[in-house]
Structure 1
Amino acid sequence: MNKPLTPTQWVGQCHCGNVRLTLSELTPTATECNCSLCSRYGAWWGYFTPQQVTIEVGRAGLNAYRHGDEMIDFQHCGQCGCITLYTSTDKAPSERVAVNYRMFESDVTLSLKLRHFDGANTWSYLD
């Protein structure tokens, strides 16, 4: 189910399949952040506009967690709890959807260059 459906479509999902993410393209990099939340989530983020991501949510729904400056809603599956994506809130300067590439098969994650972001201290990339 997570395998590429066509050469231009990739699908990822949470553990139970309640949340499904479809992308028409992959970003060349994924970001691993060391802030207090992302380091606990273990997510690899890929950044998109809302129009670039199709999000399908089943009966268990999505739950959100908002912290700090309240510009991001971290979305997790209402059944299995996987952190699937985050979305910008109305307090953010622009709209963004960050998908957690950990919801995709390893052939996707292995194709990405991983960048390390210091969200804990300097708010800059470490590479």
Structure 2
Amino acid sequence: MPSYASAPLKATCHCGVVTLEVPHRPREINECQCTICRRYGAAWAYYPPKEVKITVKDGSPTKAYVWGDKESEFHFCSVCGCDMYWKAIEDRPEMGVNTRMMDPDELHTVTRKIDYEVLTTCLKAGAEAHPQDKAQY
């Protein structure tokens, strides 16, 4: 069984402008199947926002995309376009870090989860749903 008290891990975009540092390896990785995450190909690990150190070089801000219930922002490197993290617009106890930006050797023993229940989970504002959303409103 892997130790979760591992050393900090870094997630870096392709061009190196955006770097995230988390305090330890995640307990599991979620390959979310919602209409947006499956298109991004993201594999999320969740951490309290105060535990994630975000560094952006050269003052290049990330670009954010907001959709659906307008509860979360997905942040991308403004130079190479890599999907780095999502965070809640309002206070929430966790944020998602895209583990696809981490060294795969650091994560190969971490359990991956694919939860298909999200496919039928309704957004609060059904009018904001993606046309391919399978939830019944």
In structure 2, stretches of 5+ residues that fail to align are 1-5, 123-137
Contact 2:25 2:107 in 1 (8 A): no
The 2-side partners of 1:38 and 1:98 are apart by 11
Identity %, equivalent residues = 30
Q: How far apart are residue 71 of structure 1 and its match?
A: 0.8
The 2-side partners of 1:29 and 1:117 are apart by 12
Which residues of 2 match residues 1-127 of structure 1 at below 5 A? 8-59=7-58, 60-90=60-90, 94-118=92-116, 119-122=118-121
TM-score (norm 2): 0.78
Runs of 4+ residues over 3 Å off in structure 1: none
Task: Count residues in correspondence.
Answer: 115
Determine which structure has the larger strand proportion and give its number. Answer: 1
Q: How far apart are residue 58 of structure 1 and its match?
A: 1.9
Who is 1:3 aligned against?
A: none
In structure 1, stretches of 5+ residues that fail to align are 1-6
Q: Tell me which structure has the larger Cα radius of gyration.
A: 2
